[in-house]
Amino acid sequence: MKVLVVHGPNLNLLGQREPEVYGSLTLADIEQELSDLAQRLEVSIEFYQSNHEGEIVTRLQEADQDCDVILINPAAFTHTSVAIRDALAAIQCPAIEVHLSNIHAREEFRQHSYTASVSVGVITGFGKESYLLGLRAAVALVQPS
Ligand code: CA2
């Protein structure tokens, strides 16, 4: 079983600015924790980060061929991207949406997600734990006990 983790724009800056909102861990720190958990759960995991909407659309289309489940933090594209929504809707591979912050407790423009309704579910507001819970949810989805 293979999980693809997709990080949207500016998440490569994690840990460098706005630690009060997004925590002080870097993206590499979060990926290390996800890799450790994936090893314990005996699943393979791959990471992809892009600041470009079209590149994310292309990677999602490719994921349909090489992955079983997607964990995605579309970042700002959550609130703007019909293209990423359409890509998630077009592929067979299920997706779980995650956010570090609680998007429903923030500015009004962050409270709507274009991608939530084409995802299996959304985990938002638990910092790095959103990703770790998302990975557990992804494994449970594909390998129900
Ligand atoms: O809470 C989340 O995970 C978000 O997806 C993060 C996005 C934001 O646009 C969403 O509304 C919620 C922002 C990711 C970029 O994070 C930064 C990290 C360091 C410095 C500046 C931005």
Note whether residue 60 is domain-resident: no
pTM: 0.97
Alpha-carbon span 9 to 136, nearest angstrom: 24
Using the atom order of ligand 1, give the atom closest to the CA of residue 74: 5
Note whether residue 88 is domain-resident: yes
Note whether residue 62 is domain-resident: no
The predicted model gives 54-65 an average pLDDT of 97
Note whether residue 90 is domain-resident: yes
Note whether residue 70 is domain-resident: no
Using the atom order of ligand 1, give the atom closest to the CA of residue 99: 3
Alpha-carbon span 28 to 97, nearest angstrom: 19
pLDDT tens digits, one per residue of 73-86? 999 999 999 999 99
The parent domain of residue 31 ranges over 1-54+83-98+116-145
Nearest CA to ligand 1 atom 20: 17
pLDDT at 23: 86
pLDDT at 19: 86
Note whether residue 78 is domain-resident: no
CATH of the domain at 32: 3.40.50.9100
Q: Are 138 and 3 in contact (CB under 8 A)?
A: yes
Alpha-carbon span 39 to 15, nearest angstrom: 24
Catalytic residue among 7, 48, 52, 99: 99
Decide if 104 is catalytic: no
State residue 95 phi and psi, 5-degree precision.
-125, 145
pLDDT at 73: 98
Decide if 22 is catalytic: yes
Query: Using alpha carbons only, how large is the chain's radius of gyration in Å?
Result: 14
Q: How many domains does the structure of the chain reveal? A: 1
Q: What is the separation, in whole angstroms, between the first and last Cα of the chain?
A: 15
Note whether residue 104 is domain-resident: no
Note whether residue 103 is domain-resident: no
Q: List residues near ligand 1 (CB under 6 A).
A: 10-11, 13-14, 16-18, 22, 73, 75-76, 78, 99-101, 103, 110
